Amino acid sequence: MKKCFKGFVQLAVALTFISSAYADKAAVTKAMAKSMPSMKVDSIKPAVVKGLFEVVAGTAIYYVSEDGNYLLQGRLIDIAAHKDLTEDKLNGARKLAIEKIGQANMIVFKPKIAKYTVTIFTDIDCGYCRKLHSEIDQYLAQGITIQYLFFPRAGKGSDSYNKAVSVWCAEDRNAALTAAKKDQKLPEKTCDNPVDKHMQLAAEFDLKGTPMIISEKGIAYPGYLPAKQLVEALENESKTQ
């Protein structure tokens, strides 16, 4: 949260130097690149509200006045449609971020017939994460592919973090994860691993707890969901999106 706030303050300060001469997309892009060279801005385009630009940087979304003097951070709601427009954009940003990680950097449990795919941020020592994994066969039976990313909440160097690394470095990662979830002791191992990348992504998503389930469309479902309830949510996505 501190990183997010610090980045917000830095961006707000930088944008105060963008005058009305930088109102168009190309000019705003140039000005931001000059004042915030370390920030990777993915897109700048007019927002649905007249007079505002939508600035997307990773999984963060900001709204900037067309004169470049003001920045808004928050939710943009379509009152008539009762729709959170910012959440829709965040869904897309989460989807792209997960795709960049790639399955090669995840621990994946695949059903015989795949209908849905979800990505789950998990902590080996989290009680509800363990409950979810103890029912892995129920999710697979529903045709749900489970892609795991690690988010040891205690932080880097913690026991949970070291367990995550040992699981990744095991000969059979799936079996090792299942054993770790059952509180079985694993041989301590180290190797090149994506755990830090997983944690960085969790920070970008501003995760507060685990498990956190992300659908293929980037929609977030915080907490544990039984297999049947998750399927209902995923089916509803396909009807409403």
In the chain, where does the domain assigned CATH 3.10.450.70 lie?
A: 2-81
The neighbouring-strand residues paired with 51 are: none
* pTM (two decimals): 0.80
Please name the amino acid found at residue 134: S
Q: What are phi and psi of 235, to 5 degrees?
A: -65, -40
Read off the pLDDT band of 43 (50, 70, 90): confident
CA 133 to chain centre: 20
CATH annotation of 2-81 = 3.10.450.70
Q: How far apart are CA 101 and CA 58, in angstroms?
A: 13
Q: What is the DSSP string of 167-207?
A: HHHSSSHHHHHHHHHTT--------S-SHHHHHHHHHHTT-
Above 80 in pLDDT, residue 61?
yes
| Residue of 185, 153, 146, 142 whose CA lies nearest to 167 | 185
Q: What is the tens place of the pLDDT at every residue in 197-213?
A: 999 999 999 898 999 99
pLDDT (average), residues 78-96 = 90
CATH annotation of 102-240 = 3.40.30.10
In the chain, where does the domain assigned CATH 3.40.30.10 lie?
A: 102-240
